[in-house]
Structure 1
């Protein structure tokens, strides 16, 4: 039995136990939507008439993660299920969560949810769909529609603005007219939401294979300007037409997103978005009329640190993305690199993502992939042995030669490694002899 099949069996068992105890219990929200779309859910939320304390009495392993809001986590084996009591929400004063809740009917619970396609219930015991909000019809139309008044839904929870774009992106659905107008007119309020929640939604949008659609929806709604003003600033930033016939930096970035494979890492897609954010700040025109962006890679790396820190990305994601942005112009020089430098360049931990960034950068502009192809050829050529092999000597060997630890150690060890990488030094004995003849006779 697969893990997803076991998950579904456990979820059904929880619903059955609630119903046998005399309570109403249904699957709710995204799992119902996914099943109707022919996809196997990766998690199941359960809505019930049982109050939190009744849920806790029925199940042996529970955690009251949100009992104030009627939510109990029920654990079955290695699986966890959120079991929520049907409820009405009180006033939303912070644009994120209600100040209070009151227990309610299934109809009232459905009416408080965000979009019709997420307001569906399903009874797995009776094999029956319960639709109080017209979600099934909107699913068939591939239409994302807010439940009730969209302005009310977005005022209650500002994160729903980004969720609307996320569902429009990942599902490929159109946004119903009134819902879309409400998103656009409220976009400036998205920053009332925590940076962490904004980051989570943006990541889901840009990891989607339909990320270009997400980029367009963010742009057209005003959410891009509100959440990623550094990318919005790329609009109208002209580029030298001999290298960038595709248009300004914003157009160039959008094209690159469309050239990425369906599955990407977070640092890769973010490095595509941010690799040129330093261009507006370094834009200049030579006396002969040529456009230049001197140092835009360095400025872009600095801006990327600030931007990603603002959105609370992890240090590992920041470091990987910043390195890609900082190094994306180095690729033009790879065919002139000495072997040692080239091997060190290729041995860096995120080289796969950086190669992909370089590929889509070139493909979206001048179309020349000679450096990309050169690097792949060299990777094949170097594949028979580690790019960075174990060192021939260590600091202990230098101490044995009478050298004292200090900055010169690093210089000597790096010089030995360079010759090792280039194949001119192949044994520890040869390395020590070279040090004696080149470094110990005359101080350098």
Structure 2
């Protein structure tokens, strides 16, 4: 088998050989090359100790020197070069307390997580495959290197990585790997929220996220990392508009949504509060009154627990809050508030979520509702209708100067009141008219 190595990777490998050491491209880059995918990065393993790597190349960064990793910069491009090693005792099911450098590639590959990642290659020796990784790639199997219980106990993040690889690559978990994940699923509690978030993001951005979430649920991982989603499993909606339980419906919405992390997070969370808002009427019909509003609170709590950034949290909350408006035929003033809240540039995210939601519900799938909202939105934006306080023909300074008011929260209250009036009647957006309306508000509220 011949794998095309980038010239800078080949240069690092050849340079280390010239110094009398072995070196190979290793891990995911070899797996992806075999699969015909473009690797995101190229890692190199070598028999050279870290100090030799640092002396051999002009520009290096000691990124993980304790564990034998030196980042080599070639033409400003970083490559992680790691000395062959075996791991010592693992701490907290995550990191080895210490590592021992060795001179054997075979020993180094034996410590790796999955057979498909335990592959090494260079142009001199070809493919090194001591654990049948090539066979597992051809058969589409995720299998641990050695005893799965040992691999998962060493590093519990591997539990989630196994699911993620299965989802990303479209591979199946081997029976012994699957059984071991179920057996050891509680160990995921020892993994940092940041690490869990990153794996979750990769599942969400895969071609078919539903496969990953079904595996998370069946292996027992879901209840530890997303207990709010676990509550949706098996919840019969008992409603003619839905032909799936809440969990399966949610997975279908995620699959239907375009590959955008914020959008797919909103798809995951759009019905997250249905379990707590579920009621059944006298006719046996299920309802979830206010689930979108309750979902905003649940979404924020969940996303903050997983350490998402404030910008992502804010947008997901807005999408969850407004996703049901496609069914309510909102009046123009209400819809303008939604556009102002979400932002003109982000409205396609809301429409994509609404489409995905409709397609995941029981037929018929009336997408015309979304198209009508899109056309209303385009008309509002094209007409230049005011949507924000900054669009008003008066400013806070105008109000303070005209009515001799001091700065304070009351100025914002006045401006918000004026915006409410203008959203209802755009023709009121005139300085004199707005100042007259402001005077009435000030007199009424005795400001």
User: Same fold, TM exceeding 0.5?
Assistant: yes
Q: 1:258 — aligned with what?
A: 255
Structure 1: gaps spanning 5 or more residues: none
Write the distance in 2 (CA, Å) between the matches of 1:306 and 1:438: 38
Write the distance in 1 (CA, Å) between the matches of 2:287 and 2:321: 17
Change (3 A) 1:372 1:403: farther
CA contact (8 A) 1:393 1:431 kept: yes
Q: 1:401 — aligned with what?
A: 402
Do residues 319 (structure 1) and 322 (structure 2) align?
Answer: no
CA contact (8 A) 1:241 1:247 kept: no
Q: 2:435 — aligned with what?
A: 435
The C-alpha deviation readout for 1:262-316, integer Å capped at 9, x for no partner, is x22x221111111222121122223343322233223222122221122121122
CA contact (8 A) 1:113 1:147 kept: yes
Alignment partner of 2:225 out of 227, 232, 251:
227
Q: Report the count of equivalent residues.
A: 430
Q: 1:112 — aligned with what?
A: 111
Alignment partner of 2:81 out of 75, 80, 83:
83
Do residues 341 (structure 1) and 334 (structure 2) align?
Answer: yes
Do residues 351 (structure 1) and 317 (structure 2) align?
Answer: no
CA contact (8 A) 1:95 1:158 kept: yes
Write the distance in 2 (CA, Å) between the matches of 1:64 and 1:336: 58
The worse-fitting range, judged by mean Cα deviation, of 203-212 and 316-325 is 316-325
Write the distance in 2 (CA, Å) between the matches of 1:185 and 1:103: 32
Q: In the TM superposition, what is the alpha-carbon distance from 1:330 to its structure 2 partner?
A: 3.5
TM-score, normalised to structure 2's length? 0.89
What is the CA RMSD across the aligned residues, in angstroms? 2.4
Q: In the TM superposition, what is the alpha-carbon distance from 1:170 to its structure 2 partner?
A: 0.5
Change (3 A) 1:304 1:419: closer
Structure 2: gaps spanning 5 or more residues: none
Write the distance in 2 (CA, Å) between the matches of 1:48 and 1:415: 68
Q: 2:304 — aligned with what?
A: 309
CA contact (8 A) 2:115 2:133 kept: yes
Change (3 A) 1:307 1:443: same
Q: In the TM superposition, what is the alpha-carbon distance from 1:329 to its structure 2 partner?
A: 2.9
SS of the residue corresponding to residue 403 of structure 2 reads coil
SS of the residue corresponding to residue 121 of structure 1 reads strand
Q: In the TM superposition, what is the alpha-carbon distance from 1:115 to its structure 2 partner?
A: 0.8
Do residues 424 (structure 1) and 422 (structure 2) align?
Answer: no
Write the distance in 2 (CA, Å) between the matches of 1:127 and 1:337: 70
CA contact (8 A) 2:418 2:438 kept: no
Change (3 A) 1:442 1:404: closer
Change (3 A) 1:309 1:420: closer
Q: In the TM superposition, what is the alpha-carbon distance from 1:112 to its structure 2 partner?
A: 0.7
SS of the residue corresponding to residue 26 of structure 1 reads strand
Write the distance in 2 (CA, Å) between the matches of 1:151 and 1:436: 75
CA contact (8 A) 2:239 2:285 kept: no
CA contact (8 A) 2:386 2:422 kept: no
1:157-176 counterparts in 2 under 5 A? 157-176=155-174
Write the distance in 2 (CA, Å) between the matches of 1:152 and 1:402: 75
The C-alpha deviation readout for 1:13-59, integer Å capped at 9, x for no partner, is 11111111111011010111111112222211010000011111111
Write the distance in 2 (CA, Å) between the matches of 1:326 and 1:150: 42
